């Protein structure tokens, strides 16, 4: 089964994708991981992507979709996989459908994580990260046991990432909505979209995902 998770930054789709991956033995695919792998191995696609990135330009959709096409031909994707955060635009979705059709495959289900804007801002701006070990905390929902001290490694001085500042968060959400609104309609027309409330506790969200992907 081929699953796509759609959701704004902070909606929890990455964490839930890992949970579903573990439960169903479907790999969770990340375009970021693909970029890193292709660039580190200096593949043709990696060098193409790097040439744009070095100039500060966006990597063309054709290169990104080709990377996805290469990845899903791996044996671990035979029974299904989860795409988290891709596609981001309608042209990417159309190109992905075309690539999958050439493999006699197709997207089976698209799970849309619905959540209010105010909750997303609260979640993202409250996030703090340990600069030493990378552990993530939250000022409301996952406080460190000792204020400003990492539970995992004891480092003092948890940091707010630049892209978790309020002004940046609002901009990220605006970009997401401009890109994703057309995708919602695209998959609705195909009868593949399932909406779930992401403003529930973790287990409740996961139960809804299991139901939506069964």
Please identify every residue annotated as catalytic: 13, 88, 127, 161, 172
Q: What is the pTM of this model?
A: 0.85
pLDDT at 46: 93
pLDDT (tens digit, 9 = 90+) per residue, 24-39?
Answer: 999 999 888 899 999 9
10 Å CB burial of residue 110 (0-12, 13-18, 19+) is buried
Question: Mind listing the pLDDT tens digit for each residue in 65-109?
Answer: 999 999 999 999 999 999 988 998 999 999 999 999 999 999 999
Which of 132, 121, 128 lies closest to 142, judged by CA? 128
List the chain pLDDT tens, one digit each, 214 residues.
Answer: 999 999 998 899 988 999 999 999 999 998 888 999 999 999 999 999 999 989 888 889 999 999 999 999 999 999 999 998 899 899 999 999 999 999 999 999 999 999 999 999 999 999 999 999 989 899 988 899 999 999 999 999 999 988 899 999 999 899 899 888 899 999 999 999 999 999 999 999 999 999 999 9
Exposed/middle/buried for 123, CB within 10 Å: 0-12, 13-18, 19+? Answer: buried
For the chain, domains (ranges, CATH) are 2-115+174-212 (3.40.50.300)
Query: Do 136 and 126 touch, CB atoms closer than 8 A?
Result: no
d(CA 18, CA 28): 6
Among 20, 82, 3, which residue's Cα sits nearest to residue 210? Answer: 20
Work out the percent of the chain whose per-residue pLDDT is above 70. 100
């Amino acid at each position: 089964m081929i699953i796509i998770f759609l959701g704004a930054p902070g909606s929890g789709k990455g964490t839930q994708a890992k949970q579903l991956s573990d439960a169903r033995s479907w790999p969770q695919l990340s375009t970021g991981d693909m970029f890193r792998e292709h660039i580190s191995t200096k593949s043709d696609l990696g060098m193409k992507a790097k040439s744009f990135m070095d100039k500060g330009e966006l990597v063309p959709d054709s290169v990104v979709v080709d990377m996805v096409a290469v990845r899903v031909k791996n044996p671990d994707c035979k029974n299904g996989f989860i795409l988290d955060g891709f596609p981001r635009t309608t042209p990417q979705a159309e190109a992905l459908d075309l690539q999958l059709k050439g493999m006699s495959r197709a997207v089976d289900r698209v799970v849309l994580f619905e959540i209010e804007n105010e909750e997303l801002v609260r979640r993202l701006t409250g996030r703090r990260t340990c600069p030493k070990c990378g552990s993530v905390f939250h000022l409301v929902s996952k406080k460190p046991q000792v204020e400003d001290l990492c539970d995992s490694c004891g480092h003092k001085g948890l940091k707010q990432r630049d892209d978790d500042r309020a002004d940046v968060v609002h901009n990220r959400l605006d970009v997401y909505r401009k890109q994703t609104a057309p995708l919602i309609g695209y998959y609705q027309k195909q009868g593949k979209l399932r909406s779930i409330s992401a403003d529930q506790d973790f287990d409740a969200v996961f139960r809804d995902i299991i139901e939506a992907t069964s």
